[in-house]
Amino acid sequence: MKNIRVGFIPLIDAAIPIAARECGFAEREGLDVALVKETSWANIRDKLVHDLFDASHMLAPLAVATSLGIGNAKVPLAVPFGLNANGNCITLASGLYRALEEVLGHRPENPRQSAQALKRVIDKRKAAGGQPVTFGIVFPFSVHAIIVRHWLRLGGIDPHNDVLFQVVPPPFMVASLAEGVIEGCCVGEPWNSRAVESGVGSIAVFGAEISRSAPDKVLALRDEIAAKDPDTIHRLLRSYKSAARWCQERGNHGNLAHMLAQPQYLGVAPKTVLNALSGTLAVNRTETRAMDDFLVFEGDEINRPDPRKARWLYAEIASGLRQPLDEAQAQAASAVFRTDMFDAATGNNAPHEAPDPIGLKFGPAFDAWDLPAYVSALER
């Protein structure tokens, strides 16, 4: 039995690594997987690059940034498997959400309307000399940060100048909202639902309302591990593919919810987990919303690491940092997403590739081979 240490953050999108261990998929591949819970993405990155983990549940943009040496020392990583799409929300502190309702005269009905209402709130504050709105994001290089920027632009809000951002680890988002450290956040489940249950926040936008299939969390490992022991990695990928199929099946969601809710994993009520798995969430104390593709675990479009998605992540990272695009960097980003490893492990010889790998529901279409045009359209 081969021993492997895999790091994870307590989020519902860690379901595949957890199910691979708990349901025996990894054991059937001859793997004894030790799951190690961490509180922050910086810890995940640092323990992975310093060889304390063999692999980890990781933010997709962080894997790209780490490989390119953006924001930290350059350590080449490999991403051979996508763990999920969507599953995030933009949640506002209760007071800020009420302010949006007041300027509209009703609850926001869609992402554009909520962003436009926030713009009016921000303008009123500026005129009165008030403090800017501070958003909590789980890490600067995260789909969460990207989603917030896309949403803000829908309302004519400049994400570089009109709001502030603060990094808050996912398990601390609810406390940060309650204490007034932040007035909004974008985070994965179950922490948006916990904010609603605690009465400190209301969900304004589902991440799936912004993008259909943006890469959220991935399996990441160091390049050298991938090269040194490809057989073990292939076995891990096969176990994850089986776990992904199991997690996606609605008939398994009750068992999965109880599994994830355990103290060593998320430590929340099983009902909170089940709501997110079903895509039916309480968005405030009186209203519930449902979305079929709120959180997706399985499918080639999700699990197969499409290099075009890595190019999108690089373009969004560069835009967020206001840095010029570099085609050599874009190509290096593409190389992080290892379709060759996924295909070799799973026998996926004829994959279907969607024309648009991201599926943004507002703003410019993404063309992986014309990044300057995409970023220019974003920033108009």
Domain assignment present for residue 279? The answer is: no
Q: Over 70: is that where the pLDDT of 353 sits?
A: yes
- What's residue 271's pLDDT? 98
Is position 157 within any domain?
yes
Whether residues 364 and 249 share a domain: the answer is: yes
| % of residues, the chain, pLDDT over 90 | 94
Whether residue 354 sits in one domain with residue 233: yes
Q: CA angle, corner 83, sides to 82 and 89, nearest 5?
A: 115
* CATH code of residue 24: 3.40.190.10
Same domain for 246 and 219: yes
Does residue 168 belong to any structural domain of this protein? yes
Grade residue 350 by pLDDT with cuts at 50, 70 and 90: low
Please check whether residues 54 and 110 belong to one and the same domain. Answer: no
d(CA 57, CA 132): 33
Structure tokens at 364: 């410019």
Summarize the confidence of residues 110-119 as an average pLDDT: 98
The answer to whether position 289 is within a domain reads no
User: Are 222 and 340 within one domain?
Assistant: yes
d(CA 274, CA 230): 35
Could you read off the pLDDT of 271-327 as tens digits, one per residue? 999 999 999 999 998 999 999 999 999 998 999 999 999 999 999 999 999 999 999
- pLDDT of 73 > 80? The answer is yes
Instruction: Indicate the burial class of 336 (C-beta count within 10 angstroms; 0-12, 13-18, 19 or more).
Output: buried
Q: Are residues 19 and 156 in the same domain?
A: no
Structure tokens at 269: 């009520």
pLDDT in tens, 190-224: 999 999 999 999 999 999 999 999 999 999 999 99
303 and 221 inside one domain: yes
End of a domain among 209, 227, 251? 209
Q: Average pLDDT in the 33-48 region?
A: 98
Cα–Cα distance for residue pair 18/8, rounded to 1 Å = 9
156: alpha, beta or left? (left if phi > 0; alpha if psi -120 to 50): left
Looking at the structure of the chain, the number of domains it has is 2
Q: Is the dihedral of CA 308, 35, 24, 274 positive or negative?
A: negative
- Do both 71 and 106 map to the same domain? no
Strand pairing partners for 280? 290
The torsion angles phi and psi of 165, rounded to 5 degrees, stand at: -125, 145
> Does residue 133 sit within a domain?
yes
pTM of the complete model: 0.97
The answer to the question of residue 21 being in a domain is: yes
**pLDDT grade for 356, boundaries at 50, 70 and 90:** confident
Contacts of 73 (CB under 8 A, 6+ apart): 49
| Same domain for 112 and 20 | no
**Residue where a domain terminates, one of 192, 209, 226:** 209
For residues 333-356, give the mean pLDDT: 88
Q: In this structure, how many other beta carbons lie within 10 angstroms of the beta carbon of residue 22?
A: 20
Residue 355: its pLDDT value, please?
83
Residue 280 lies in a domain: no
352 pLDDT tier (thresholds 50, 70, 90): confident
| Residue-level pLDDT at 26 | 98
Q: Tell me, yes or no, whether 79 and 102 share the same domain.
A: no
Confidence of residue 149 (pLDDT cuts 50, 70, 90): very high
Residue 170 lies in a domain: yes
> Residue 173: which domain range?
88-209
The arithmetic mean of pLDDT across residues 103-118, rounded, is 97
Using CB atoms within 10 A of its CB, is residue 304 exposed (0-12), middle (13-18) or buried (19+)? Answer: buried
143 and 16 fall within a common domain: no
Per the prediction, the chain carries an average pLDDT of 96
Do residues 230 and 358 both lie within one domain? yes
Determine the pLDDT at residue 176.
98
Among the candidates 144, 176, 209, a domain finishes at 209
Assign 1 a pLDDT band (cuts: 50, 70, 90): confident
